[in-house]
Structure 1
Amino acid sequence: MGKVLGYARVSTSDGQDVSTQKSRLTELGAVVVFCDVASGSSLAGRDQLDAALRLLEAGDVLMALHPDRLARDTGDLLTIARRVVEAGAILQIHDPKVVFDGSDLTSEILLTLFGLIGRVEKHFILARQRRGIEAAKLKGVYKGRPSTIDPAQVRELREQGLGATAIAKRLKIGRASVYRALAT
């Protein structure tokens, strides 16, 4: 048997910590644990997951504690599973126990189901978040994210003769943000 690589993920560094996952994966035999602080809603920006997948060789194991640590979407979870199998490795999820090597239809069905459950869970989390924001707005305590763009600075650059593209590049913002700032 090859090496066991662990993968841990939390959504934010604000009050969340991968140390518990990392410790448990090490106890279960992972020689290295790759950790991301990123949303499970997408594979984008998950550099440590990519690194773990690139390191896999025939006979290795990629282990995660729960399916939602890998992905909260059926397509993404199956993409990860396929990449593991293409490397000749095995995907192992600890709880609930799933071992996927690409040869067992039952394991693929379970991964599909867990991906669907993750997607539904993500939907409910976002719905609760929207309801909380609406309630906070009604109480007058939610004002949205503070602006990071100074409209006066945008107008000043415009008065100097710069176009929207040049202003956007100078301030490292999008052109749409320039137009919004000029409209205020």
Structure 2
Amino acid sequence: MKEMIYGYVRVSSKDQNEERQVIAMRNFGIEDSHIIIEKQSGKDFLRPKYLKLTKKLKTGDILFIKSIDRLGRNYDEIIEQWRTLTKEKHISIVVLDMPLLDTRKDQDLIGTLISDIVLQLLSYVAQTEREFIHQRQAEGIAAAKARGVHFGPDRIQLSPEFIDYACLWHQGQISSRKAAQKLGISYQTFLRRAKEREYQKII
């Protein structure tokens, strides 16, 4: 059976543009019908379209991604997903922005070692970038407070997961009540802080 070629495109929120990734896939000859676009956080792999795609993939198929952070942003889970797809399902993965990460190629021991090192390095960078996003948000709030911006009385400290749930809410993937329940806050607080976050992104 002829191998199937798929492209996986991911952006974190509905206001981000996926066109750059889509164009890169088309340039490699991937048909639009085989380009899966998902607008969801990369904090884990519990994404409906990604899960559906991995169930569809068969031995010999090829999966293209633009860069390793489009696959995900959790170091351990990226490594585990890569192993599952390439070693257990025998899927080839091609990372367009990093030619060394192309498992279609026959690699000797040294080549495989280099690929593994590059994968671990890029996965680490993807995770630390996500952590920097959380840090920049906290610093932005602190700077705003220093300028005299008031965010309301007795503001509670939100968990680092707030950004992920806010993204999911803006994408319509979760209700404000469900997100608030997960975070242990009222849904009114969740809505107010999620809208504040969008305003801060605009300014």
- Per the normalisation by structure 2, the TM-score is 0.65
Contact 1:74–1:113 (8 Å) recurs in 2? no
- Name which one, 1 or 2, has greater alpha-carbon Rg: 1
1:130 aligns with 2:131: no
What 5-or-longer segments of structure 1 have no aligned partner? Answer: 145-170
Q: Give the corresponding residue for 1:160.
A: none
Contact 1:81–1:100 (8 Å) recurs in 2? no
Q: Which amino acid aligns with 2:54?
A: L
1:165-180 correspondence runs (5 A): 174=181
Aligned residues: 152
The CA deviation string for residues 119-178 of structure 1, in whole angstroms up to 9 with x for no partner, is 22222222111100111123343527xxxxxxxxxxxxxxxxxxxxxxxxxx87749657
Q: Give the corresponding residue for 1:34.
A: 36
Q: Distance in 2 between matches of 1:135 and 1:123?
A: 18
Q: Distance in 1 between matches of 2:75 and 2:181?
A: 32
Q: Distance in 1 between matches of 2:150 and 2:66?
A: 36
Change (3 A) 1:10 1:25: same
Q: Which has the higher contact order (CA 8 A, sep 6+)?
A: 2
Q: Distance in 1 between matches of 2:54 and 2:114?
A: 23
1:42-81 correspondence runs (5 A): 42-44=44-46, 46-81=47-82
Q: Distance in 2 between matches of 1:89 and 1:71?
A: 17
Calculate the aligned-residue CA RMSD, in Å. Answer: 2.8
1:95 positional shift:
0.4
- Per the normalisation by structure 1, the TM-score is 0.71
Q: Give the corresponding residue for 1:164.
A: none
The CA deviation string for residues 78-127 of structure 1, in whole angstroms up to 9 with x for no partner, is 12212322222111101022113697333222111111111222222221
Out of 87-96 and 29-38, give the one that drifted further. 29-38
Q: Give the corresponding residue for 1:18.
A: 18
Q: Distance in 2 between matches of 1:142 and 1:55?
A: 50
